[in-house]
Amino acid sequence: MALNFLSTFPPPAEGVRQQQLDTEAVIDGQVLGNGTLYIAESRLSWLDGSGMGFSLEYPSIGLHAVSRDVSVYPREHLYVMVNAKLGEKAQESNMMEDENGGGDYDDDDDDEPITEIRFVPSDRSALEAMFSAMCECQALHPDPDDEDSDDDFEGDEYDVEAHDGMEVDVAPAVAGQFDDADVDH
């Protein structure tokens, strides 16, 4: 995985709802190391000790959850799914699509690339506060394509058991988001 999207920037100074020191970032299975996670009203940011890191806008975050199932990942963590592929290869791929007749691009949700990020705090008791801060901040950035998202769920937390056995506390889903999902009963 190309991690050329990492850059240096100052930590957020305004609207920080949660600052979690000593938090490991893992992107698509690749450990970036320990740093500080900033859950701010405007963005979600992570910076290591040298000031290198990444920052995400909330509309790009499709899902966030607290994962406690150590059979899926060895430590409890805040799971974040980004509706894009982070890194240089994804950016190059998008540029090629535009150059090669972007008009034929099919905007099918099934083909949308994703990136999985796990934020593993050294203090696992902080997970609930991290999740709550994420819910609050994400609610400040409703999906403009969903007319119902302003009124749905009011930041409540839900315990769900996914079909693969992973138990998570999930952020409110967007109405209709999982209409085509396969569910085992």
Is pLDDT of 162 > 90?
no
| pLDDT, position 61 | 95
pLDDT band at 113 (very low <50, low <70, confident <90, very high): very high
The total of structural domains in the chain comes to 1
Is pLDDT of 80 > 80?
yes
> For all residues of the chain together, what is the average pLDDT?
76
Question: What is the mean pLDDT of the segment spanning 103-114?
Answer: 58
20 belongs to a structural domain: yes
- Residue 48 CB neighbours (<10 A): 16
Question: What is the mean pLDDT of the segment spanning 60-84?
Answer: 95
| pLDDT, position 183 | 46
The candidate with the shortest Cα–Cα distance to 1, out of 34, 25, 35, is: 25
Q: Give the DSSP H/E element, type plus range, for residue 142.
A: none
The candidate with the shortest Cα–Cα distance to 40, out of 117, 173, 136, is: 136
8 belongs to a structural domain: no
Cβ contacts of 1 within 8 Å, gap of 6 or more:
27, 28, 30, 87, 89
4 belongs to a structural domain: no
155 belongs to a structural domain: yes
Residue-wise pLDDT for 46-60, tens only, equals 999 999 999 999 999
183 belongs to a structural domain: no
Q: Quote the CA–CA distance of 45 and 37 in Å, as a whole number.
A: 6
pLDDT band at 86 (very low <50, low <70, confident <90, very high): confident
Of residues 35 and 153, the one with the higher pLDDT is 35
Output the domain CATH number for residue 19: 2.30.29.30
17 belongs to a structural domain: yes
Domain that holds residue 41: 13-143+150-170
175 belongs to a structural domain: no
Question: What is the mean pLDDT of the segment spanning 128-147?
Answer: 89
Question: What is the mean pLDDT of the segment spanning 110-129?
Answer: 93
| pLDDT, position 123 | 97
| pLDDT, position 146 | 63
69 belongs to a structural domain: yes
| pLDDT, position 5 | 79
pTM of the model: 0.69
Q: Quote the CA–CA distance of 13 and 38 in Å, as a whole number.
A: 10
Give yes or no for a contact between 141 and 172, defined as CB atoms under 8 angstroms apart.
no
